[in-house]
Structure 1
């Protein structure tokens, strides 16, 4: 395998697999899929997936620390498929602008969650 392909494959494996090289791994569970290290639905405000917690200063913040759903392989891949379907005919900047729509992202979450419920 040529070096450029090997380096690219390494990035894909670190991004899409269980990135055991990450200093925070596992942040949710051993064997988790790290594709959605930063959840595209944050904050989803879905109480099956997270909860508001209190900060030291008394303010509230959405916590996903107990969310396992987005880190399952079937769900991670399904989310990616939905995103690809929406962006397949768009350039990167246009796709990012589209996906910056939080309501649209929550619709993707709901669609995937309907197909793959949390407690399955």
Structure 2
């Protein structure tokens, strides 16, 4: 394998697999899929997946520290499929603008969660 291909494959494996090289790994559970290190549904406000917690200053923030759902392989893959199907005919910037629609993103979450419930 040529070096450019190896370098690219390393990035893909770090992104799509269990990135044991990450200083925060595992942030949820051992063997987690790290593709959605930053959840595209945040804050989902789904109480099966997370909860509001108080910060030191008394304000509330959504915490998904107990969420394992988005890091399961089948769920992470399904999220990617949905996003790619919506954005395949757009430039990256157009795709990001489309996915900036919170209602759309929560519909994607609900569709996938119906197929792969939180367990």
With the shorter chain as reference, the TM-score category is over 0.9
Alignment match, 1:98: 98
Following superposition, the deviation at residue 39 of structure 1 comes to 0.2
Q: TM-score, normalised by structure 2?
A: 0.99
87-96 or 27-36, larger mean C-alpha shift: 87-96
Alignment match, 1:63: 63
Alignment match, 1:48: 48
Aligned-residue RMSD, C-alpha: 0.5
Alignment match, 2:115: 115
Alignment match, 1:16: 16
Q: TM-score, normalised by structure 1?
A: 0.98
Q: Find the residue that maps to 1:79 and give its secondary structure.
A: helix
Q: What is the CA deviation profile of residues 54-89 of structure 1, one whole-angstrom value per residue up to 9, with x for unaligned ones?
A: 000111000000000000000000000000110111
Following superposition, the deviation at residue 117 of structure 1 comes to 0.6
| Structure 1 gaps, min length 5 | none
Q: What is the CA deviation profile of residues 85-111 of structure 1, one whole-angstrom value per residue up to 9, with x for unaligned ones?
A: 101111111001101111111110000
